[in-house]
Structure 1
Amino acid sequence: MKNMEKIQLGHNGPYVSRLGLGCMRMSSIWGGSTPDETESIATINQALDEGINFLNTGDFYGAGHNEMLIGRAIKNRRDDAFISVKFGAIFHNGHWLGLDLRPLSIKNFINYSLTRLGVETIDLYQPSRMDGSVPVEDIIGTVADLVKEGKVRYIGVSEITADQLRQANSVHPISALEIGYSLADRQIEKDLLPAAKELGIGVVAFANTAEGLLTGDLKAPLPENDYRNAFTRFKGENLIHNLEKVEVLKQLAGDKNCTPTQLAIAWVKEQGEHIMPLVSMSRRTRLPENLAAMDITFTPDEINTLNTTFAPGAITGDTYLQRS
């Protein structure tokens, strides 16, 4: 296994790779086909070989398929992997039904996850979201009991507010906050990121390319069957406006002899030593580009150009990351 820069999750938390591997795309989430399992397992193993030890999944990814896949991949190298699992989301026939965050359910979910993964302990366990249906104290308190039982090592949270983060951390030390963050989605900079930094909580940042907007590959209009048509960001004049902003990213990428995707990942990495870009992959061919992004640095002028072009509010239209 190669050495990679490490990030500490929480004041007294574990050190993990600065780049994380999101495994979601290795399973069918919305009823689509399942990617090639052999290639997915090979991707996980090559990522581990390259020093990426943070593997992110959810017990609802592919109705448990994702956990079983990871379990097969790490069967003979458990110590090489740090496994992060989200729980609580309920799907049926590929449709989102809501959340189940009741303590009784959490105690049930954990045992299924441990079995599917083939492990005795999950390294980081976290509610996938909090909707007010169950008090924060009850959710985190239940996971804290699982820590005492030895079934969980560290507690994380995902897609929550600054107030919820403070509440959760008051019940038990929170090691990591998983949240969407990119040049196109900077709303968390106002309250949530400062709260995480103040509390000493690591940030696991997903959606670095904003659902592909920042890859430089999109053209307007999107195909009719593209799932992104559900979000106003990718419709009509909004998409045309947003792609004009992306042209600046493409120009800078050309000047630096890299891809827009690499710049988008590198920008997230540069926002703080406590921030980990979480990149979803299901093919080994994606690894070299994403790994190289971690070596990209910026001049002050380049950062100023990006921060000005993609200032909060510069990208118009909503996505699933904007929720009340």
Structure 2
Amino acid sequence: MTTITKMNLGLNGPLVSKLGLGCMRMSPVWGSKGNDESESIATIQTALDNGINFLNTGDFYGAGHNELLVGKAIKGRRDDAFVSVKFGAIFYNNQWLGLDLRPVAIKNFINYSLVRLGIDTIDLYQPCRLDGSVPVEEVIGTIADLITEGKVRYLGVSEITAEQLRKAHAVHPVTALEIGYSLADRQIEQDLLPTAKELGIGVVAFANTAEGLLTGELTAPLPAGSYQHHFPRFQGENLIRNLAKVELLKQMAWEKGHTPTQLAIAWVNAQGEHMMPLVSMSRRTRLPENMEAMQIRFTAAEMDALNTHFAPGAIVGGTYLQR
């Protein structure tokens, strides 16, 4: 494997890997089983060995399990890792209960995160989303205080609107916006992405394969236990129509000698120097193919074909990204 290239996270932000490692699926989340812990730790460490230093976790992933896992993986090599942590989501018995974004809760959350991770400072700290229950100014102001105290280095935000992004940035400079983005989910191109670019905010883009739709591996109907059944996009005629749209991506992938998944990641990567594909991995075997995706280039004709074929609205039926 070749080492990954670097990017500035935001206009005046830190130097991080252009490819981010999503660690969520290494833990039991929403009723799923966790992966082999030793393999997960080895995956993180191999990623670090190859220059992927951006590690994305959340204090609610596996009820703290994911932070403990990341902490074990980076022990003794803290300087190699840039740790991004989301907070605010409240789960009980794998059921979503809501958000707690009160300043007192945030100050409680971060202390537990620091202990589980075994570090003194979190590199990027961000509410998992904002729901209006607490004013944006109070949420962001609390993180700004944590930055002053030295418990946090940079402010991030996740899954918010362009208006909320402007409000947050006015309180304290936002370094990164984490948001779902793919060929199948382009609604944020209208206002959120232009706002982030205008303000000099880096974009950490997850769900590059649109919950598996763009992998080219799904067939209709999906197996009975598939979590995608919850989303209209993967139901009935919607799924049949959407899988037909993916055929173009599969054909282009075959012609270029890559997989549809690699092309989906490469398309996100090609959206700009400020854009980081955040890819979930829990096995070392996934690293080479995902790193290779970062080297894929599209001709002008190929990019035009993808953008036209997957124009906003081309994929029918929503997912949790359309809130």
TM over 0.5: yes
Q: Does 1:88 align with 2:88?
A: yes
Task: Write the letter of the residue equivalent to 2:79.
Answer: D
1:226, distance to aligned residue in structure 2 (A): 1.0
Aligned to 1:112: 112
Task: Write the letter of the residue equivalent to 2:264.
Answer: A
Listed one character per residue, the Cα deviations across residues 229-248 of structure 1 (whole Å, up to 9, x for unaligned) are 11110011110110011000
Aligned to 1:19: 19
Aligned to 2:228: 228
Aligned to 2:180: 180
Q: TM-score, normalized by length of structure 2?
A: 0.99
Flag as ranges the 4+ runs of structure 1 deviating above 6 A: none
Aligned to 2:42: 42
Aligned to 2:98: 98
Secondary structure in 2 matching 1:284: coil
Listed one character per residue, the Cα deviations across residues 237-272 of structure 1 (whole Å, up to 9, x for unaligned) are 110110011000000000000000000000000011
1:224, distance to aligned residue in structure 2 (A): 1.7
Aligned residues: 323
1:208 touches 1:264 (CA, 8 Å); kept in 2?
Answer: yes
Secondary structure in 1 matching 2:296: coil
1:2, distance to aligned residue in structure 2 (A): 6.4
1:5 touches 1:18 (CA, 8 Å); kept in 2?
Answer: yes
Identify if the C-alpha distance between structure 1 residues 171 and 235 changes in structure 2 by more than 3 Å, giving closer, same or farther.
Answer: same
Task: Write the letter of the residue equivalent to 2:208.
Answer: N
**Greater shift in the superposed pair: 91-100 or 9-18:** 9-18
1:33, distance to aligned residue in structure 2 (A): 1.6
**In structure 2, how many angstroms separate the alpha carbons of the residues matched to 1:308 and 1:319?**
21
Aligned to 2:54: 54
Listed one character per residue, the Cα deviations across residues 124-175 of structure 1 (whole Å, up to 9, x for unaligned) are 0000000000000000000000000000000000000000000000000000
**In structure 1, how many angstroms separate the alpha carbons of the residues matched to 2:79 and 2:214?**
35
In the alignment, structure 2 segments of 5+ residues that lack a partner are none
**In structure 2, how many angstroms separate the alpha carbons of the residues matched to 1:213 and 1:27?**
22
Q: Does 1:253 align with 2:253?
A: yes
Aligned to 1:123: 123
Aligned to 1:191: 191
Question: Over aligned residue pairs, what C-alpha RMSD do you find?
Answer: 0.9
1:32, distance to aligned residue in structure 2 (A): 2.2
Aligned to 1:9: 9
In the alignment, structure 1 segments of 5+ residues that lack a partner are none
Secondary structure in 1 matching 2:175: strand
2:20 touches 2:55 (CA, 8 Å); kept in 1?
Answer: yes
**In structure 2, how many angstroms separate the alpha carbons of the residues matched to 1:311 and 1:10?**
27
Aligned to 1:305: 305
Counterparts of 1:211-290 in structure 2 under 5 Å?
A: 211-290=211-290
1:16 touches 1:54 (CA, 8 Å); kept in 2?
Answer: yes
1:225, distance to aligned residue in structure 2 (A): 1.6
Secondary structure in 1 matching 2:247: helix
Aligned to 1:296: 296
1:60, distance to aligned residue in structure 2 (A): 0.2
**In structure 2, how many angstroms separate the alpha carbons of the residues matched to 1:78 and 1:91?**
29
**In structure 1, how many angstroms separate the alpha carbons of the residues matched to 2:154 and 2:6?**
17
**In structure 1, how many angstroms separate the alpha carbons of the residues matched to 2:81 and 2:285?**
20
**In structure 2, how many angstroms separate the alpha carbons of the residues matched to 1:115 and 1:165?**
29
1:3, distance to aligned residue in structure 2 (A): 4.3
